[in-house]
Structure 1
Amino acid sequence: MTTPPPESPPAAEAAAPASWIRLAVVGLVGGLLSGLFGVGGGIVMVPLLIMLARMDQKRASATSLVAIVPTAIAGSITYFANGEVDVLAAAIVATGGIVGAWIGARLLRRISMEWLRWGFIALLVLVAIRLIVVAPERGAGSVDWNVGTALGLVALGLVMGVASGLFGIGGGLIMVPSFIAIFGMGDLIAKGTSLAAMIPTAVSGTITNVRGGMVDVRAGLIVGIAATVASFGGVWLAFFLPADVAAWLFAGLLVLAAVQLAVRAVRARRAGSA
């Protein structure tokens, strides 16, 4: 009697496309939100990588940063083509951001998983509150340049860079509200400038993470390609969606992501203490 072939190889082959699809979904969602809200998309991609790709918080943060690089480039080019990027402000913020990303990426390898998880949740909630409190305007005034403004932008870059390297986000969640509330930018130019400023920061953090063995390069490339394609649609939506509506929608999304991560954090803690 002929021995039937083993069943495991076909099952393994069938599972592979699902992994690609899940990663592509992560990228499409992150890229759409990146273009729409002027963020890197990591604030959404990190939770999705944890839930769909079964990554831990550290690897998800590091992998997300890889995908942010091409996404931010594509989005900033589109905003720039429409005259919605302050190149000087982006360059100054990026200067501080590169140093901050280097610091954050190194902290990522040393900080405990529990502290990182709850710190990320706190960041989501704080930014959501900020988006609701600060009413964005379309077509607001330009930056009032002086020494204090330049120093403030450098400081903003440092904070943004640390958050980028530590949490795997592009930093747009910090930059966009700050550009609007502190430096008087309109919502569209704040988004475009944010995307431009995060490019060198994300590159710096990614290099550090790759050297530290923290990155799933394959997953990062898949997510990044999908996110880049979707970012163009996000920018298109940004020009048609009212500024206050966009802010409220994004705040709601952040709260939802924070709740999901908080539930997972509590479950992980209970499982560890059991």
Structure 2
Amino acid sequence: MLADSHPFLAGLGTGLCGGLLSGLFGVGGGSVMVPLLAAVLHLDQHRAQGATLAAMLLPTGLPAVLQYRSRGIHSSVRLVGVLVLAFLFGIYGGAQVANLIPSETLRWGYAAFLVFLALKTFSRAEPPAVDRSIEPLDLSTGLWSWGLPIGLLAGVVSGLTGLGGAVVVIPLLAARFRMTQHEAQLTSLMMLLPPIGLPGVYVYAKAQGGLPWVVIAGVAGGFAVGALAGARAATRIRGARLKQSYAVVLLLMALLVALRGR
């Protein structure tokens, strides 16, 4: 099998799929990469989540960020800084808790969480269209009072699931700061530029006796290519269509995780 004889290539393909999802929906790609790493490379839930976080340590989302900005979509560096600061604390705690949970229990909890996210995504109202030339992005209030708890919650979710935290960041930013879908996605991708997953990777690597670094290198390379292609497509798709497509992908990945247990 490819996964056994060429783990780098198997990781490359997995990273490509995760990168496409990340560029399209502004997420870390973990909702695809964790199930695929488990199914294709037969990693247990803990090692699959740790490997996904490790692959995100490099600024693999940079091509996608540049693509969004070239289309005139912008965000706030100050807000990203606040989110990242809180995220670092949250991911360490989330990873510690995840490694105390048995792998089978964690796997089913992961599948249930994907279904929950899909349902929330389907039901979430689309942010209203905003003309930034008339209504600039306002961060004068709530930068710290909302940015810190959003970043902390995203970090905890990322440490627990390996999803990257964007599943929390995007809807909350859209709701609190009236960001468009594309602006919230760009903000989420900008959070991935520094190695924010490092505390979580340290916890997973220590608890699991190391991580599959050859696979991780392949995932990181594939992710960078996929993210650029996904971002190019995302800037041409309406926010409502992106939301619906993302919910369908989440349900498919939840099904893959569930079937793996049979």
On whether the aligned pair clears a TM of 0.5, the verdict is yes
Deviation at 1:84, TM superposition (A): 2.4
Q: Given the two structures, how large is their TM-score scaled by the length of structure 2?
A: 0.87
Equivalent residue letter for 1:255:
L
Q: How many residues align?
A: 254
* Rg larger in structure: 1
Match of 2:196 in 1: 201
Match of 1:232 in 2: 228
For residues 64-99 of structure 1, what are the alpha-carbon distances to aligned partners after superposition, in whole Å with 9 as ceiling and x for unaligned? 111223333443343345442321221111111000
CA contact (8 A) 1:132 1:251 kept: yes
Whole-Å Cα distance in 2 between the matches of residues 49 and 57 of structure 1?
A: 9
Q: Aligned to 2:55, which of 47, 67, 70?
A: 67
Whole-Å Cα distance in 2 between the matches of residues 33 and 69 of structure 1?
A: 17
Match of 1:222 in 2: 218
Match of 1:177 in 2: 171
Match of 1:246 in 2: 242
Match of 2:162 in 1: 168
Give the 3 Å change call, closer, same or farther, for CA 14–122 of structure 1 in structure 2: closer
Whole-Å Cα distance in 2 between the matches of residues 120 and 15 of structure 1?
A: 25
Match of 1:189 in 2: 183
Equivalent residue letter for 1:258:
A
Deviation at 1:104, TM superposition (A): 1.5
For residues 228-252 of structure 1, what are the alpha-carbon distances to aligned partners after superposition, in whole Å with 9 as ceiling and x for unaligned? 1111111101100111111101101
Q: Given the two structures, how large is their TM-score scaled by the length of structure 1?
A: 0.84
Match of 1:271 in 2: none
Identical columns (%): 31
Match of 1:256 in 2: 252
Q: How does 1:258-273 map to 2 (within 5 A)?
A: 258-265=254-261, 267=262
For residues 160-218 of structure 1, what are the alpha-carbon distances to aligned partners after superposition, in whole Å with 9 as ceiling and x for unaligned? 11111221121111111221123311011100101112444223322443344342111
Give the 3 Å change call, closer, same or farther, for CA 54–135 of structure 1 in structure 2: same
Deviation at 1:102, TM superposition (A): 1.0
CA contact (8 A) 1:98 1:200 kept: no
User: Which one has more relative contact order, counting CA pairs under 8 Å at least 6 apart?
Assistant: 2
CA contact (8 A) 1:62 1:215 kept: yes
Pair 1:76-2:72 in alignment: no
CA contact (8 A) 2:47 2:204 kept: no
Whole-Å Cα distance in 1 between the matches of residues 97 and 64 of structure 2?
A: 28
Q: Quick check: which one's helix share is greater?
A: 1
Pair 1:29-2:24 in alignment: no
